[in-house]
Amino acid sequence: MTPVPATTEPPRPAPDSRVGWIGAGLVLAIAAAYWPVAGYAFLAFDDNDYVWQNPHVLNGLSWPGLSWAFIHFYVGNWHPLTWLSHMLDVQIYGLKAGGHHVTSVLFHMANTVLVFLWLKRLTGYVGRSAMVAALFGLHPLHVESVAWVAERKDVLSTFFFLLTLMAYTRYARKSEVRGQSSLPSDESTPSSIIHHPSSIPVDDAVPSTFNLQPSTFSRPVTHHSSRFYWLALFCFALGLMCKPMLVTLPCLLLLLDYWPLQRIDLATRHSPLAPRPSPLATVFQLLLENIPFFIVSAASCYVTMLAQHAGNAVMPVRFLPVVARVQNTFVAYAGYLEKMVWPDGLSAYYPLAYPIDAGDVVTAVSVLVLVSGAVIYFRRPRPYLAMGWCWYLGTLVPVIGLVQVGSQAMADRYSYIPLLGLFIALVWLVADFKPDWTRRRPALAILSVSVLAVCWLLTATQVRCWENSESLARHALAVTYNNALMQGLLGSALFEQGQAEPAAEHFAEAARIWPDNVTAQCDLALALKAQGRLDEAIDGLQTALKYKPRAPEIHDLLGALYSQRGNLASAIAEYQTVLQLQPDNVVVLNNLAWLLATTADAGLRDGPAAVGLAEKACRLTNYQRPLFLGTLAAAYAESGRFDEAVSIAQKALALATDLKNESLIRKNRELLELYQHQKPYHEGK
């Protein structure tokens, strides 16, 4: 398919010395706000799945890692370039979290500069483009996308998103629509200000980028211009391989064709000398032009759907009805607007409350209707309002909650791209205010500096909340209510510090808020176990089974607690239940085999069964886990197969020695000596 051309390439403007200074200023401002992240830690909040507990990422860049990234789903996602980015960071920095944070900040800097350069080329306005870029780079709603290592996919996908827009802009500016001129033949006003007498730039005269003259003939797409089209498509595909939220970009290109590219003229004014096709015909032509983009987007949607279902990431309708999803959609759209204007109470997690307050829904709908009405009313004199508003509404569609992924009501990270449309609309609106006012320039300068100063201070403050899991959770709990996830995160942070008692309090609160949350119940049991309160831990898990009777994690932990308390028959029964649900759970296979092989209760010992379980655990781990090999040796010994027990015990000892695990080395030496004397090992004897 041959792409449809657009408008003629304007004369290349003379180099502007301000561009370099503005770019440097944007980078320095971001660096000043985000510099503390270089000393921050990984979080126990998705960072473990993405980096420090991900075995594929921990190996750094490798051919097996490359293959895994492209052909496997993980944690409900398929974003191979994001995985490769994390692998490269591990290759460079190891597990020094500061380096991983710095990479994300560098991408955010690059994105901010790209926003500035793209808008300047697209519209010709230097000051307005700089202001939009500064808002993008310094708004506190974007801290989550930058300061959270697990959200590398946000800044990385946006990098390719902006490259796509830049390439598409170059394509559109280098060609003309077949059979029509780029401007009406009876007008000589630059296309940037047609029908907009008040839109003269505050920072420039009419931008040189828009000094276009009406053409009297059309020319086809050139090889040079179509090359940028395919480059845009390639960058779009790369962006989707970082984060599939970009799937609405083909529709966004149509918005840019409306304004400021003006390839779609909704005014439907005709001139006898230069007849124009109808707006519908033009839109249809542009839709045909962008079919490759829609195909790539559809493919990404399909793969994402498979990945999310494979990871059980999509919340079923029975848990959150359609009516509630629609209500939350309105509330979330209004919520992002509110936090853009008044970024207070930002949280890493906003719990989804159901039922949703009817007053909140009515207020949200009213706000959206009023804004939409104003945008429609001013669509001709202020077309950038329609473009910015539709940009905001459209780019949020994949994450607004109609297809609920996760349990959050909204998320700051989801606003990273959508707010850019609103920033463009607002900056252009303010810049067009009273163009004949003599003190307009200093007033706008003071307003711009004041807004950016407030944004910088709020961003610098918000960045400090992301220092570690404890600081993040405490801040979230201070600004939200009934936040079970953050209660659990704070409990985990305290538990790792050895503060079992306060950790148990937070786990208990998480379990109270979300009683069917398996993680909260298990964490509470572990905290109680650490305090020696085994009976309370067991009672809590048995209560949790009423909500999730088939939760293998609960049965596994119950097995461990029963074993510690000496109730081995119950422990064996719980482990057997886990294996019915998860036949390849290697840890439970090993634990059950150890009990059956080594318990002091002769009535519970079962050597042959222990051998079968231990052999399976070792086979699944390629006979490379010394702990599992030690269990297999004990099972062989219990079954009277002492020669095999000695051989396996020697291998377990060698592996433990390679790992320099002193406790395993001592234990395996003791057991090896028993087996060499034709004696099995029984606990307590």
Q: Which of 187-191, 306-310, 404-408, 503-507 is least confident?
A: 187-191
Residues of the domain holding 531: 482-583
Confidence of residue 114 (pLDDT cuts 50, 70, 90): very high
Residues 156 and 286 in one domain: yes
Q: Is the pLDDT of residue 321 over 70?
A: yes
Residues 492 and 618 in one domain: no
pLDDT at 175: 59
Residues 597 and 574 in one domain: no
**Beta bridge partner(s), residue 682:** none
Residues 514 and 456 in one domain: no
Q: Which of 234-238, 269-273, 584-588, 633-637 is least confident?
A: 269-273
pLDDT at 275: 60
3-state per-residue secondary structure call for 98-120: HHHHHHHHHHHHHHHHHHHHHHH
> Which of 518, 553, 583 is the last residue in one of the domains?
583
CB 411 within 8 A of CB 399: yes
Residues 640 and 507 in one domain: no
pLDDT at 112: 98
Does residue 320 lie within any of the structural domains?
A: yes
Output DSSP code: residue 608.
H
> Buried b vs exposed e over 100-126: b needs ≥16 C-beta within 10 Å?
bbbbbbbbbbbbbbbbbbbbbbbbbbb
Q: How large is the average pLDDT for residues 474-502?
A: 95
Residues 259 and 158 in one domain: yes
pLDDT at 309: 85
For the chain, first and last CA: distance in Å?
A: 80
Does residue 469 lie within any of the structural domains?
A: no
pLDDT at 240: 97
Does residue 571 lie within any of the structural domains?
A: yes
> Which of 526, 553, 583 is the last residue in one of the domains?
583
Does residue 289 lie within any of the structural domains?
A: yes
Q: Which of 291-305, 436-450, 456-470, 481-495 is least confident?
A: 436-450
Task: Read off the CATH number of the domain in which 508 is found.
Answer: 1.25.40.10
| Cis before 515 (ω within 30) | no
Does residue 195 lie within any of the structural domains?
A: no
Closest CA to 81 of 311, 299, 239: 239
pLDDT at 516: 82
Euclidean distance between CA atoms 408 and 348, whole angstroms = 10
Residues 577 and 618 in one domain: no
Q: How large is the average pLDDT for residues 202-226?
A: 43
Does residue 3 lie within any of the structural domains?
A: no
Please give the tally of structural domains in the chain.
Answer: 3
pLDDT in tens, 542-566: 988 988 898 999 999 999 999 999 9
pLDDT in tens, 393-446: 999 999 998 887 778 999 999 999 999 999 999 999 999 987 777 788 889 999
Confidence of residue 272 (pLDDT cuts 50, 70, 90): low
pTM for this prediction: 0.84
pLDDT at 436: 75
Residues 130 and 169 in one domain: yes
Mean pLDDT over the full length of the chain? 88
> Which of 583, 616, 651 is the last residue in one of the domains?
583
Tokens found for residue 138: 């310094």
Q: How large is the average pLDDT for residues 670-677?
A: 94
pLDDT in tens, 329-347: 999 999 999 999 999 999 9
Could you please report the per-residue DSSP string of 284-347?
HHHHHHTHHHHHHHHHHHHHHHHHHHHTT-BPPTTTS-HHHHHHHHHHHHHHHHHHHHS--S--
More confident residue, 315 or 659: 659
Residues 569 and 620 in one domain: no
Does residue 211 lie within any of the structural domains?
A: no
Confidence of residue 264 (pLDDT cuts 50, 70, 90): confident
Does residue 640 lie within any of the structural domains?
A: yes
Residues 118 and 259 in one domain: yes
Task: Read off the CATH number of the domain in which 593 is found.
Answer: 1.25.40
Residues 576 and 600 in one domain: no
Please report, for residues 186, 323, 326, 368, the alpha-carbon distance to residue 362 in angstroms, rounded to integers and kept in the order given.
Answer: 48, 14, 12, 10
Residues 565 and 619 in one domain: no
Q: Is the pLDDT of residue 225 over 90?
A: no
pLDDT at 636: 96
pLDDT at 190: 37
pLDDT at 209: 39
Q: Is the pLDDT of residue 180 over 80?
A: no
